[in-house]
Amino acid sequence: EADIYQTPRYLVIGTGKKITLECSQTMGHDKMYWYQQDPGMELHLIHYSYGVNSTEKGDLSSESTVSRIRTEHFPLTLESARPSHTSQYLCASRGWGAFTEAFFGQGTRLTVV
């Protein structure tokens, strides 16, 4: 069983609120990722990190920010939630090595009302 955890699993929040989605892994992986999964199930990369203090934006323009202060922790923050942010957010991690697979968390389903 992959040891990558996302909290909360479900969140309903009002427009304009600041929220942080948590992602933690206990595998010591240096690469971590955030994907937004739309209702059609397509995955869009929004942020990734290849180690502590390194973060990159993905292909999907996002109003979110991330930080990577510790290897095991990769939180995603929305400063001001909007209904367009309603989606499922998946966190993943990958170990060192060229051919390693990504391990995924169970996801956070966010609804902004």
Question: What residue ranges bind another protein (CB under 8 A)?
Answer: 2, 31, 33, 35, 40-43, 45, 48, 50, 56, 58-59, 90, 92, 94, 98-99, 101-102, 104-107
Backbone angles phi, psi at 69, to 5 degrees: -90, -30
Q: Which is nearer to another protein, 98 or 113 (CB)?
A: 98
Minimum gap (Å) between residue 111 Cβ and another protein: 16
Q: Are 20 and 11 in contact (CB under 8 A)?
A: no
| 3-state class (DSSP) for residue 84 | helix
Output the CA–CA distances (angstroms, integers) from residue 74 to 1, 22, 31, in the order listed.
20, 7, 10
> Whole-angstrom distance between the N-terminal and C-terminal Cα of the chain?
34
Minimum gap (Å) between residue 69 Cβ and another protein: 19
Q: Which is nearer to another protein, 19 or 46 (CB)?
A: 46
Q: Which is nearer to another protein, 83 or 99 (CB)?
A: 99
Q: Which is nearer to another protein, 64 or 81 (CB)?
A: 64
Backbone angles phi, psi at 9, to 5 degrees: -75, -40
Minimum gap (Å) between residue 110 Cβ and another protein: 16
Minimum gap (Å) between residue 60 Cβ and another protein: 11
Q: Are 10 and 86 in contact (CB under 8 A)?
A: no
